Amino acid sequence: MSLSLHHLIRLILLGVALAVLATGTFVRPGAAYSQDAPGVWVEAIQFANVRAGPAVNYPQIGTITAGTRYPMIGRSARFPWYLIRLPETEGWVYVDVVKVTGDLKTVPITEKIISLTPGPASLPTAASSVDVTLTPTLAATATLIPTAEVVTAEALDTANVRYGPGTDFPRIGSISKGMQYPVLHRHSLFPWLEIAFDGVPSGRGWVFRQTVRVYGDLNKVPITSSRDFGYPTLTPTAQMIVTSVPPFTATLLPGTNDLLGKLSSDIYDYLLQNKFEPGTDTQGSAFLLDLRTGHAIALNPGVAYSGMSLAKIPILVSLYRKLDTTPKKDEAEIIAEMMICSENIASNTVLKWLGDGDPEKGAQYVTETMHSLGFKSILLLSSFWTGAKDTTPTSPPQPIPTVQTGVDQVSTEPDPYNQATPADMGWLLAGIYQCALDGSGVLTTTFPNAFTVNECRQMIGIMRADRIGAMIEAGVPADIPVAHKHGWINDTHGDAAYVSTPGGDYILVVMLHNKTWLNYENSFPVIAEISRMTYNAYNPARLLDKTHTQPVPDCSGVPPEALAVLQASNLPPIR
């Protein structure tokens, strides 16, 4: 049987569409919902399976992905599942893989089970008149396809799939080497290919040409010049680079900051080059604040990371909120061990001071302090793990609930009791800086008479004594003062710093995450290079040609000059 290319392509698409319908796996878009309608809305953080009932043992109805919101029409009273309305049916999603907009209290309780209607059992006669074969190496989206003239794409390693032909379109998933996907269109203006892809309701997505290997004659694939592909109406999601505003009332200088804008784009591209991509298992976020103008940029904003030892900056601020006198020598030693040696035992001692002997209450005092300042994403609800076992018989501890902060607290699997976003940590450092500079800023306006200029200079001084020779320090010349706190756990590494340079002062915070394990040889050089890029942008007349990461030294004791800083009664200006 002879077929024109036009008819063949139509049959390919028909086979793909019917295969998707036959499996009943994917939610079709249907009519777009009104995003202005009142109610409660549900959106997948990355993707979420939709099931017939509120448990994983119920049949899967479909899948929803980040970028599309669905109305919540019910919630289970017994299980952590939400009932949502899809364009042509209803289904249940698990609470931990979605984010909710609206008041949950207004959603009715239900335990409704969705009855399923079987899909078509076979292809129609028109399609069955073409030779079809089952191809195990092809993606499930196109299990049934014509054997003639099929062009497929396979990722060279991994390749992102997007809603349209460009990085400005939202990411909807990825493909990996070893699986081939039918190519449906090639774009006439951009080097992008549309493939059959089951990670989105429409069953299609776009990949960058240089990230895939093509099998077959690409010239026989239809060309399109459109940028309107009829996908579901997308929710307005935060851009990956956004102008960041302080969480407290502040006056910014008018206008824009061209240096910051270009620099943030360069840093974001660098993160992508090193595979720290938003919405994936390996992602990173950064915050940059120009202290001369007050302009700030957040990259991959609104994502909570485990606070690590960076949480010791909020502890330090909370301590100075409570201190009425200059620290005594033994107190200064504990503070220095917490900030320089990052010693968890010392940190728990400070939490005991804050909690009147109870470190858990001390941690909650820290959270209350941060939230009063406007830093809602910063939370510390428990003391630090030290590895020591308390053999004293006690009653079983009460479980500590975590706090919902209004940001993404799922995608990086952050510690439920110790979290922060780079932006809030950066604005906190800015508050310390402003207080140390002239006694103004959020610390003194929120807590009048609790902070003095000298106390804030003590905080800057002890953070400048934290010398590890890596991360942000490794991206500036050795004579540049860096007031910072570093931290790392198995899957998350970060550094938060106030950097004073001849070309201008700035705040830089970087947090990186890998779901399985984050290697230091990957994270430390990336943070150092971001630091070098920032320093060079501010100091074009004194460029640093390369980073200089050193092995992180063991903390063999607190230097006397650090103790002197904490006990000084009249420290000089910080600049």
Angstrom distance (rounded) from CA 99 to CA 262: 31
3-state secondary structure of 464: helix
Q: Is 90 helix (H, G, I), strand (E, B) or coil?
A: strand
Phi, psi at 440, each rounded to 5°: -100, -175
Angle, helices 359-373/344-354, rounded to nearest 10 degrees: 80
Fold of the domain built from segment(s) 41-106: SH3 type barrels. (2.30.30)
Question: 399, 395, 359: which is closest to 380 by C-alpha?
Answer: 359
Beta bridge partners of 74: 83
| C-alpha to C-alpha distance for 148 and 1, rounded to whole angstroms | 11
User: Domain 5-22+120-224, what architecture?
Assistant: Roll (2.30)
Q: How far apart are CA 332 and CA 563, in angstroms?
A: 6
Q: What is the pLDDT of residue 405?
A: 85
Q: Output the six-digit token pair for 250.
A: 């502040």
Let me know: does 571 contact 467? Beta carbons within 8 Å.
no
Distance CA 331, CA 358 (A): 17
Q: What does the pLDDT read at residue 7?
A: 45
- CA angle 400/402/407 to nearest 5° reads 175
Among candidates 484, 449, 472, 469, which has minimal Cα distance to 526? 472
State the residue for tokens 């620099």: 263
Q: How far, in whole angstroms, is CA 563 from its chain's centroid? A: 37
Cα(447)–Cα(132) distance, integer angstroms? 73
Q: 372: which 2 tokens?
A: 């009063």
Q: CB of 215 within 8 A of CB of 182?
A: no
Phi and psi at 193, nearest 5°, equal -120, 140
Residues of the chain with pLDDT under 70: 1-38, 46, 57, 78, 96, 117-149, 168, 170, 199-202, 227-239, 249-257, 387-400
Query: Do 397 and 414 form a contact (C-beta atoms < 8 A)?
Result: no
pLDDT score at 261: 81
Q: What is the pLDDT of residue 272?
A: 86
Q: What is the CATH number of domain 257-385+400-567?
A: 3.40.710.10
Number of helical (H) and strand (E) elements in the chain, helices listed first: 12, 26
Cβ-proximal residues to 423 (8 Å cutoff; 6+ apart), any chain: 244, 287, 296, 298, 301, 377, 509
Tokens of 211: 């990230």
What does the alpha-carbon distance between residue 426 and residue 536 come to, in Å, rounded to a whole number?
A: 20
Residue 485: strand pairing partners: 496
Segment 394-405, tens digit of pLDDT: 444 555 677 888
Q: What does 107-118 look like in DSSP terms, one character per residue?
A: SPB----PPP--
Q: What is the model's pLDDT at position 84?
A: 94
Q: What is the pLDDT of residue 242?
A: 75
The residues of the chain that CATH labels 2.30.30.40 are 5-22+120-224, 41-106
Token readout for 425 is: 């940590």
pLDDT digits (tens, 9 = 90+) for 209-250: 888 999 999 988 988 887 665 554 444 444 677 777 788 765
CA distances from 291 to 400, 446, 534 (A): 38, 20, 13
pLDDT for the residue 226: 74
- Whole-angstrom CA distances from 203 to 91, 183, 232, 290 are 19, 12, 12, 44
Residue intervals of the chain classified under CATH 3.40.710.10 are 257-385+400-567
Q: Which bin fits 430, alpha (ψ -120 to 50), beta or left (φ > 0)? A: alpha
* Phi-psi map region of 101: left, alpha, beta (phi>0 left; psi -120 to 50 alpha): beta
Q: What is the pLDDT of residue 139?
A: 45
